[in-house]
Every structure is written in structure tokens, then in C-alpha cells.
């Protein structure tokens, strides 16, 4: 039986890396993105006959139903994994963030993930127990990140969504998992933290002496998460250090946050 995975934010970065790995391992892949041109270019890099593309604004609940139905039909009537991966960065002090930036970050990162989960349920119930909802959270969902309060709030929300649905959907035989990457080598690092900044996220990471993890490591982590039993999968040394500190050295982590040295994840 051929398995299938539907990936939001699939035109680039983590989403595209996941798509390539799963397609190479025989899965049928659905790329979903709001950028149709980039999505078409991404599809051309995947094995022929193993991909379909679907324009999707994750903030639109009705578009979710339409895209998932179309993908299920393209995949031979079965949808096994939905990767809630679409997301955008937002950094800077809360006072620097505009209302429009805050609303966009909340809508895409959190509301989009909630809509995706809600829309996915009837499709995943049909393929359970071979079904999984995979949410892309962040190391910023481990401990609140100074200079990225809104982004951290969305990723804590994705973490909470994962934990809640892990319990709620157990009766349906659906696995719910999350990825918690730190800084990953994707186009998002070229963005500025917010509209008032002129320094890229990548430069801030490098200036802080932090590592940037290859995106292929996240794709492999996604594969392991889908097939394993770990609720949250940490990706990258920074994510692992933050999780360790949050559990065993919370006072030190709080001190780092107050000093403004704690980094933004993903």
C-alpha cells in the first residue's frame, strides 16, 4: 500500500525537505502553499507521479476542506499524515510589533494549525491506525523566548494543541506528534525579525554564536516522529539544550531570558 502525506508550507524550507524525503521513500506527497509559483517549482524537484499541489491559505477554514479532499482523491482515496508545517517568524520586543504583524503571526502559526487539525480529523480517522497529525512547533515552545513573545506564544500553542489532541484522538487511533526545531537552514532565516528591523534572523543567530541545523535533519526527524512513539521531537543542539535547561536549570534559563541572550527557535 502506498502511503500519503499532505504538507503545508510545502513550497520551501522544512516542508519541501520533508516532501523530498517522504517521496524518495515511496510516499505520495501533497504540497500545500499560498505561493503557487514556488510550489510548482518545488514539485518539479520531486519524483514524477508522487506529488500533487494544492493552493492553501491555512487561515481559511473552507480552503482546508477543499485542499484535503482534492489531495485524498489524488492519493487514491487515502490520507495518512497531515503535516501542519506552515509558519512565519516574528521577533523583536512586543512594543515593536505592529497589530498587523501580531495578527498575521497568530493567524498563520496558531489558528492555521488549529484549523488544519480540525479539518484533518475525518480524513485521518479513515486511515487510522496508520494516521498521524504532525505539527511543526519550535524550540521557542520550550521556554518563552525574549524578543519573540508573539512567536513563542504561537509555538506554545502548537505544543499544547499537540498534547491535547494526543489525548483526545487516542480513541480514534490517530497519532499526534510535534517537531521542535531550533535554527534551521531555511529561507526564513533571510527574513528580518519584524518590520522595524534591518538585520536578518540569520545574522542574529550567527552573532549569538549559535548553530544552524541542516534542513535535512528536520526531514529525518519528521520521518522518525511519524513512525515513532515520541510526542515531541527536538531538532538541533539549541533545542536540546533549552529542553535540558527548562527541566533541570529553570532559574538559569530565566536569567538568560532576562539578559536577552535566549534565542528564537526555528
- pLDDT tens string, the chain, 266 residues long: the values are 689 999 999 999 999 999 999 999 999 999 999 999 999 999 999 999 999 999 999 999 999 999 999 999 999 999 999 999 999 999 888 999 999 999 999 999 999 999 999 999 999 999 999 999 999 999 999 988 888 899 999 999 999 999 999 999 999 999 999 999 987 655 555 544 555 544 544 445 444 445 667 889 999 999 999 999 999 999 988 888 888 888 888 888 788 777 765 444 45
* 163 and 141 Cβ atoms separated by less than 8 Å: no
3 is catalytic: no
With respect to residue 264, please indicate whether it lies within any of the assigned structural domains. Answer: no
The whole-model pTM stands at: 0.88
Q: Looking at the domain assignment, is residue 82 inside a domain?
A: yes
Q: With respect to residue 230, please indicate whether it lies within any of the assigned structural domains.
A: yes
The parent domain of residue 228 ranges over 4-259
**In-domain check, residue 52:** yes
Whether residue 265 lies inside any domain: the answer is no
Tell me how many domains the chain contains. Answer: 1
Residue 266 lies in a domain: no
The conformational region for residue 217 under phi > 0 = left, psi -120 to 50 = alpha, else beta, is alpha
Residue found by looking up cell 498575521 in the block: 104
- Which region, left, alpha or beta, applies to residue 135 given φ > 0 means left and ψ of -120 to 50 means alpha? beta
Query: Domain for residue 70, yes or no?
Result: yes
- Give me the pLDDT at residue 262, please: 47
pLDDT at 182: 86
Asked whether residue 203 is assigned to any structural domain, the reply reads yes
Write the CB contacts of 83 (distance below 8 Å, at least 6 apart in sequence): 5, 6, 7, 8, 15, 18, 134, 136, 222
Closest CA to 54 of 43, 45, 44, 46: 43
Q: Out of 22, 27, 151, 183, which one is annotated catalytic?
A: 151
> 232 has which bridge partners?
178
pLDDT at position 202 is 45
Q: Yes or no: say if 90 and 192 are a contact pair by the CB < 8 Å rule.
A: no
Domain of 199, CATH number, reads 3.40.50.720
Amino acid at each position: 500500500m502506498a502511503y500519503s502525506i499532505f504538507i503545508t508550507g510545502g513550497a520551501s524550507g522544512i516542508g519541501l525537505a520533508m516532501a523530498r524525503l517522504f517521496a524518495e521513500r515511496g510516499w505520495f506527497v501533497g504540497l500545500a502553499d499560498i505561493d503557487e509559483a514556488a510550489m510548482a517549482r518545488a514539485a518539479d524537484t520531486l519524483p514524477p507521479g508522487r506529488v500533487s499541489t494544492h493552493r492553501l491559505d491555512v487561515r481559511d477554514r473552507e480552503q482546508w476542506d477543499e485542499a484535503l479532499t482534492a489531495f485524498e482523491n489524488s492519493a487514491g482515496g487515502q490520507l495518512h499524515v497531515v503535516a501542519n508545517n506552515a509558519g512565519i517568524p516574528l521577533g523583536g520586543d512586543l512594543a515593536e510589533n505592529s497589530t498587523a504583524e501580531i495578527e498575521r503571526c497568530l493567524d498563520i502559526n496558531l489558528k492555521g494549525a488549529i484549523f488544519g487539525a480540525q479539518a484533518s480529523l475525518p480524513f485521518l480517522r479513515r486511515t487510522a491506525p496508520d494516521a498521524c497529525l504532525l505539527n511543526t512547533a519550535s524550540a521557542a515552545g520550550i521556554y518563552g523566548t525574549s524578543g519573540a513573545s508573539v512567536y513563542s506564544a504561537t509555538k506554545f500553542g502548537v505544543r499544547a494543541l499537540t498534547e491535547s489532541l494526543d489525548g483526545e484522538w487516542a480513541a480514534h487511533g490517530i497519532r499526534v506528534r510535534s517537531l521542535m526545531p531550533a535554527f534551521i537552514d531555511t529561507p526564513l532565516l533571510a527574513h528580518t525579525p519584524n518590520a522595524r528591523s534591518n538585520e536578518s534572523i540569520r545574522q542574529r543567530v550567527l552573532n549569538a554564536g549559535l548553530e544552524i541545523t541542516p534542513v535535512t535533519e528536520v526531514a529525518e526527524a519528521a520521518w522518525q516522529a511519524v513512525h515513532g512513539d515520541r510526542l515531541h521531537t527536538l531538532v538541533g543542539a539549541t533545542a536540546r539544550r533549552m529542553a535540558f535547561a527548562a527541566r533541570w536549570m529553570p532559574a538559569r534559563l530565566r536569567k538568560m531570558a532576562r539578559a536577552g541572550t535566549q534565542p528564537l527557535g526555528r
